[in-house]
Chains A and B, each alone.
Chain A
Amino acid sequence: MVPDYDPRLLAVREELSRLTLAWARDKALDADKAKTLRRRAASLNHARYFANIPLYRRICERAGVTEAEPKFATLVADLMAPDDIFKSYPQRLLDEGDFSAMNRWVSEVSTLDLPEEAGAHATLDDWVESLAGRGAHLVFSSGTSGAMSFVPRDALTWDAFTRMPFLYVPFVLADRGVLPGWKAFLARGLARFLSPERLLDAFFKVGLRDFDGFFCNFSGGNQGIQLVGQKIGAMCGKAHFLYDTRMSATAVRAIVRGPATENDARLMEEFLATTVHDKEANYERLIREMRDSARRGRKCILFGTPYLLLEICERVAAGGALKLPKGSNVVFGGGWKSFTGERIPEAELLAVLSETFGIEPMAVCEGYSMTEIQALMLKCPHGLYHVPPHLEVVLLDEGLNAMDETSTTGILGVLDPFAGSYPGFLVTGDSVRMASGPCACGRPGLAIAQVERSPGREVKGCGGIMAKVNA
């Protein structure tokens, strides 16, 4: 079902993981080596995609590029696909519930070779679940048009998606003073002796056991930011979710495009019951559990999109002071999406969060990522999203041409060495400003100073869905 990986690619990835770990642990980076490794990975991935992903091969053929290693410049100029490629299936297939044809599309857009017959699936959720059972993980995201994107991951890419960020995120949190000194010391020490894989195993076992997690998320479902919450939740001593149920892809699509079947209508009703009708009860429960953890002296992690965090702040303020124990922190991401009208300045948001939960401003941290990459960037104490060295980023002008290395502002393109099952050379829908010069936090390498949605690009994804259903 999944083509074998070229051992050379796996070896390059292993080296990139080690470099990333060293960068996280020691703030040291052999930038030239990292660049060489990333570009080697890009070449090897090109060969893998060309051989196994028909739609990528089509892009190559249109550009006159063969299987032979293209120059990096050619790769950036001619072979980068927009994130739209993950919604290039005919919408009618989902309208008609034709999951056999969806299987064929997944086989076209990824290295996954799914059977022609999908079998009988009552809903989109059933189909997504059945594929997960076969080792094909579809991470979904929905834009304001309701055209969902599906990013197909094989076991190895899924593993990188769910684990890779934790190789460096704890060290960035340590920079912010969120981890206790002894724990940061221990993490750095272990990182010297353990392989990246062993270190991650150890982190997942004990890393966040002394925290209780509170997530303005669904407790299940394969949507980007939900998955981040679920993954962190699995590491915490206890995890509480605002919506203690699976996020249904069927319901999310039905809300925007209308239910096609009675089953769709039922799932949509259940979804709305959880997110709209029972919203206040859910907030009340989550806040009650948070107060209980605080009373017991348990450190808390609060995670969600900015809009939902603001909503929870309003409700906490109405119910009396809530001071979370020292060491607690708030992490947010996903942007304001369709709630841009409610947007408040970042400094104001940080102040509200810090004041509401009685925590230091440094314990409030924003993350940046996207469904299509195996990376998560947390803001450092100096306000920059440091790009982990395993991820290649490029800037593109509005005509999607590569910009020269002196440019600091443009559309963000990424080449992800760990995207093994789908075309990982991607033009995002975001415009960024790169930081110029070294960061005062001491972390080397590239960093993003500012992110905005590019003009004309659909508001999508994580925060978008949550925003819709909470409106």
Chain B
Amino acid sequence: MGVEPSRDFKGRAIGAICRELDLLRVDRDGIMRVPFLIKGDLRVPPRVDVGEIRRSFEVRDRAAGIGASGVTHAWAGGAQVLREPVIDRKTFAATGRFRYTVLPVFTAPEVVEPDVLRLSRELFNLPFGQVLDYVGALGRALSDGHDFVSQVADATRDTAELADLWHDAGFASLALLLDPDTVRDMVDRDLCSWGIPGSRFLDAWTPLPGASVLPAPVNLAAGEVFAARGYAWAPRSPKMRAYPTRQLHITAGNAPQIPFFSALRALATKSAAVVKSPQGATMPGALLALAAVASAPDHPLTKNLSIVYWPGGDRAVEDAFFAPGAFDRIVVWGAPDSVLSVKERAGFTKVLSFNPRFGMSLIGREAHGPDLPLVAARAVCDSLVANQKACIASQVHYVEGTDQEVDAYAQEVRKALAAFDAHAPNYIPPVLLGELKRLMRGVLVSADWLLNQKDGAFSSGVVVSREAFPILKHPMCRLVVVRPVADLAQAVAYMHPGVSTVGIYPEARRLELRDAIAAAGVSNVLPLGQAGSGFAGQSHDGMMALTELVDWKNG
């Protein structure tokens, strides 16, 4: 394993750094070496022989239970190795070959920062303007390295479960996410309080004009008790500050931008952060690490940023990370068991969880006219956010109308999905094909299935179910469940805090139902077709995320 702390990468192109250190390139054995960032130092994994890697996975495979899904992580040659199946992009079938991502190792004490006084001096008092400069520099490093980023996208495409369209767009958007103006808007709006832009709270103890400070009863009593001593209560001049924190971000891989986005929140709040890349998307984090050492290696934000990976459940790492005082905030995205496990074990640290949720669409009877194809297209847009893997993606469409109207709507959605399949072919892992068969022959055997197929295999589809079904069985692989309702208001009964987003057509019906749906626990009640849209400073899962990430202080 190579640590590259003394190397001066400043001003160098990320592609050149990778060529020199042989990183982010797939070799003839299918191995790709991916670096970590450990508090500003680029940590490069050792070279590991493919035979040793295969032997390690053989041992892990044997030790895994027979019911376990494929083993994805192993230790070999002093490195961590992730194993992903290679998918033929023409047939969208697994090839039986594997790609191995070799990652360095690290220990928890290397990345946990106990010295908060040092952070206060070096990082927390950094002017926000310098944060924006830093973000701009990172963005330039990635946009200057556009060709190299495209090569990385090419090199990782054959293991991507997302369709090529999303995979490529994900990489192309990384530089765009690092936009100083957007970050300023995000901070000024999210942390805005008392009508004062958030960046001022982040930078300094900020006076609160018009705040009326009241005494405690003890102060009133003291006015009498200590009058002889000259005591008299006087209101203070109140100030507030949004104080940076030490953050651990455990991110999910359902969209490749998530680790990037989560890291950006840490940078925007001038916080020390450890970001865990998800198993299926270590590349965005690695590119961010390279951009940091190439553009600002000595910047306090780089020096207090770590981008790493460890297998979920590794007690050697997690016990230290979840111990009281190790971090001030833990952000966890992802699967129900991951979120639950972190919440249970990090009882003394404030945890922000972006829970597994799902979206819905409500289609009013007004849709059954000439606009039906357009309505179906908008509904499909909401269903295919991150190829239906996002927590805001619509999984169920509640449709008002007669049986014939509902069936016609289902046909339009099927056609819209087919058009999308043609434009962006869908990869469906074998396990999900199995889940689909279980649904078709099991709990939804009585429903009507309208399928799109490629070479005889499912590519997308619609199932019209007249009865409620268990949402946990939804495979989220371009399958839309259509549920007829006599009145859209009936669908409100199916809403709860597990529903993130509801898209509604037409607008008048949305305005009519919005309060009831919000009251049921749904976070976003949007016009149909807008589920995937967003803006800087919007709420996320019912929270203003940056507001939760900083520590609000009075002083």
Which residues of A approach B to under 8 Å, CB–CB?
Answer: 55, 58-59, 62, 80-85, 87-88, 90-92, 108, 145, 147, 396-400, 409, 411, 427, 430-433, 450, 452-456
Contact = CB atoms under 8 A, between A and B. Distances in A.
Interface centre among B66, B69, B431 (most CB of A within 10 A): B66
Given A397-B430, A456-B431, 12 more contacts: A88-B444, A88-B445, A92-B467, A145-B470, A396-B434, A398-B431, A400-B433, A430-B67, A431-B66, A433-B66, A454-B67, A456-B435
Interface string B411-434: 000000000000000000011011
Nearest to B444: A88
Contacts of B433: 399-400
Contacts of A90: 467-468
Nearest to A147: B470
Nearest to B442: A84
Contacts of A145: 470, 472
A92 B430 CA distance: 32
A87 B470 CA distance: 11
Contacts of A58: 445-446
Interface in B27-66: 65-66
Contacts of B69: 398, 455
B438 interface: yes
6 contacts: A82-B437, A82-B441, A85-B445, A398-B430, A452-B68, A456-B435
B470 A82 contact: no
Interface string B244-259: 0000000000000000
Interface in B448-497: 449, 467-468, 470, 472
A432 B65 CA distance: 10
Contacts of A456: 431, 435
Interface of B: 65-69, 430-431, 433-435, 437-438, 440-446, 449, 467-468, 470, 472
A411 B435 CA distance: 13
A452 B64 CA distance: 11
A400 B437 contact: yes
Interface centre among A81, A108, A397, A398 (most CB of B within 10 A): A398
A258 to B, nearest CB: 15
Contact of A455 (B67, B442, B467, B472): B67
B442 A85 contact: yes
A205 B470 CA distance: 46
A433 B472 CA distance: 27
Contact of A62 (B449, B467, B470): B449
Contacts of B434: 396-400, 411
B443 A432 contact: no
A397 B431 CA distance: 8
Top 8 nearest A-B pairs by Cβ distance?
A84-B442, A452-B67, A399-B430, A431-B67, A90-B467, A82-B442, A82-B438, A399-B433
A455 B68 contact: yes
B67 A88 contact: no
Contacts of A433: 66
Contacts, number: 78
A409 B66 CA distance: 7
Contacts of A83: 442
Contacts of A432: 66
Contacts of A82: 437-438, 441-442
Contact of A80 (B430, B431, B441, B470): B441
A177 B119 CA distance: 72
B209 to A, nearest CB: 52
Contacts of B437: 82, 399-400
A55 B441 CA distance: 9
A340 to B, nearest CB: 12
A239 to B, nearest CB: 35
Given A398-B434, A400-B433, A454-B67, A91 B468 contact: yes
A85 B67 contact: no
Nearest to A55: B445
Nearest to B432: A399
A133 B278 CA distance: 57
A88 B443 contact: yes
Nearest to A79: B441
A449 to B, nearest CB: 9
A62 B439 CA distance: 13
Contacts of B68: 452, 455
Contacts of B67: 430-431, 452-455
Contact of B440 (A62, A397, A399, A455): A62
Contacts of A400: 433-434, 437-438
Contacts of A92: 467-468
A53 B446 CA distance: 12
B470 A108 contact: no
Contacts of B442: 81-85, 87-88
A92 B438 CA distance: 21
Nearest to A397: B430
B67 to A, nearest CB: 4
Contacts of A62: 440, 449
Contacts of B438: 82, 84, 400, 427
Contact of A452 (B66, B440, B444, B449): B66
A58 B440 CA distance: 10
Contacts of B446: 55, 58, 88, 108
Given A399-B431, A430-B67, A455-B67, A85 B468 contact: no
Contacts of A59: 440-441, 445
A113 B530 CA distance: 49
Contacts of B440: 59, 62
A333 B538 CA distance: 53
B510 to A, nearest CB: 27
A59 B470 CA distance: 20
B254 to A, nearest CB: 17
